[in-house]
Structure 1
Amino acid sequence: MKKGIVATALMVAFSCSAVAADMVPAETAAKIRAAFPKTKIEEVRLSEFPGLYELAMGRNVAYVMEGLPYLLVGHVFDTRTGTDLTAGRAEKAAPKVSFNDLPLQDAIKRGNGSKKLAVFSDPDCPFCKRLEGELAKLNDVTIYLFMNPIAGLHPKALEKSKAVWCAEDREKAWDSAIANKGFKTRDCDSSVVERNIALAQKLGLQGTPALIREDGELVPGMRPAKQLAQWLGTTYVEVAPVASAPDVKPAVIAKTK
């Protein structure tokens, strides 16, 4: 039943022409909110697609069809242009973040460019791994990497993140962790990782990766270098340089006193 509803909603999205968004009647919005009492719905909007309502939940966007007790969580694409329509709505709804208030001392600094970018990442997140290759293509960017392991999805990510922070060369250790390679580390105060997790929660980040530009604009998810370069106002190279990483075997974290 649920699959059928999802399929129906997507068929509506892909086959119907876009219509101007309008205000949802208060009675309809109230019914939708009542159907999901445990969900904090900040706004109910009529989406571009007839019969499909868009729910704004902070930085998240979901969809629902009136009278059906199912939330459709995911991204809607325009198959004609390849445009991610959901991402655009989510970005507009995302509140600004004060870049100057970020605790940059709790991040791993990479590069020394004029453009500044904060990245919240998890060493075991597949999309974070893909993002690394795209970030390496960017020119003139200083990246502040905040390790934000999501233990519920990646049980070993917290341990890896702490080990990276305690490594002698954090940049190379991060490269190794992302590539599932071993690296030497040592005992140290790694409470910075817990602080980063708390910071991500405070900022309302729901997952990784998440990127914050110097003006405070935040975008979630993996983006290609071309799109990132345009967003940051810089340039990029087509082929990313090969990241250097220490050759340590076996491919596990090896602690040294």
Structure 2
Amino acid sequence: MMKKLLVSTLLLMGGMSMQAQAAGSEALIKQNLQKVNARIQVESISEAPVKGMYEVMLNTGEVLYSDEKGEYFLLGKLYQFSEQEGFVDLTEQKQSALRKEALAKIPAEQMIVYPPKGEVKATVNVFTDVDCPYCRKLHAEVPKLNAMGVQVNYLAFPRQGAGTATYRDMVSIWCATDAAARREAMDLAKNGGDLEAKTCDDPVLDQLHLGQNMGVTGTPAIVLSDGTLLPGYVPAAQLAKTLELN
């Protein structure tokens, strides 16, 4: 009985020691990052798949890797070798999961939604700028995507930021009276038409910041349902293959 009690105590102490070490490492990592730049904000720190290293998620959506002392940092992709798949991008897997989680929190009424007439076989979320040529090229293919059962959800990403003409146009689109009116305004803007100026409590700037935190740097940027980011224009036929609709 005494032996069992001793073993249990040692196991408990070992677990407490590991927890204390992990907490100490997290504090060191945060502390050293703050020394480099006080504006760096850490969202989470967890043990990385590589023994002795920690995965550090910043509020910008970037992923860093650190040793337990916060002395060495790696900014880049972490890959795992798999006999079946070759190199697996673990960093992208993490970021995809976070994108999926973030998009799930956005109410449908805050997006400009183009649903198919029949069954929804797949959904794509597109960060768009109404003035970029390739955004307009993709928009011209939305009817093709709808015909294949793909729902297109638009999120705002005015590339030049707040206060620009594009930003004001996108605010006007999002401030239209209802879903149909927002689609009509989006169609008009994508075709180079003039919009009636409107203002409201809009999500345009929030969606711009969200896209930036997801790693969006240009438009269009397509985010699949699983959180995978496809930067740039993708033709409807190619996108259908990616979505395994063919």
Coarse TM-score class (shorter-chain normalised): 0.5 to 0.7
- What CA distance in whole angstroms lies between the structure 2 residues aligned with 1:153 and 1:196? 12
Deviation at 1:100, TM superposition (A): 4.5
Structure 1 runs, 4 residues or longer, greater than 6 Å off: none
2:201 aligns with 189
**Bigger shift: 104-113 or 159-168?**
104-113
- SS at the partner of 2:222? strand
Equivalent residue letter for 2:142: L
CA contact (8 A) 1:119 1:209 kept: yes
CA gap 1:123/1:57 in 2 versus in 1, 3 angstroms: farther
Map of 1:198-237 to 2, 5 A cutoff? 198-234=209-245
2:124 aligns with 117
Identity %: 29
* TM value normalised by structure 2: 0.54
- What CA distance in whole angstroms lies between the structure 2 residues aligned with 1:134 and 1:231? 16
- SS at the partner of 1:187? coil
- SS at the partner of 1:145? strand
Deviation at 1:135, TM superposition (A): 2.9
1:161 aligns with 170
Q: Which has the larger radius of gyration?
A: 2
Equivalent residue letter for 2:185: A
* TM value normalised by structure 1: 0.52
Deviation at 1:134, TM superposition (A): 2.5
Deviation at 1:153, TM superposition (A): 11
- What CA distance in whole angstroms lies between the structure 2 residues aligned with 1:142 and 1:177? 20
CA gap 1:162/1:234 in 2 versus in 1, 3 angstroms: same
The structure whose residues are more often helix, as a share, is 2
Deviation at 1:185, TM superposition (A): 5.0
CA contact (8 A) 1:120 1:209 kept: yes
CA contact (8 A) 1:115 1:232 kept: yes
CA contact (8 A) 1:167 1:184 kept: no
CA gap 1:92/1:231 in 2 versus in 1, 3 angstroms: farther
| RMSD (CA atoms) | 3.0
Q: Deviations over 1:207-247 (max 9, x none)?
A: 11111111121110001111011111225xxxxxxxxxxxx
- Structure 2: gaps spanning 5 or more residues: 1-61, 66-74, 78-86
Deviation at 1:154, TM superposition (A): 10
- SS at the partner of 2:125? strand
CA contact (8 A) 2:128 2:155 kept: yes
Equivalent residue letter for 1:170: R
CA gap 1:198/1:108 in 2 versus in 1, 3 angstroms: same
CA gap 1:57/1:134 in 2 versus in 1, 3 angstroms: farther
1:180 aligns with 192
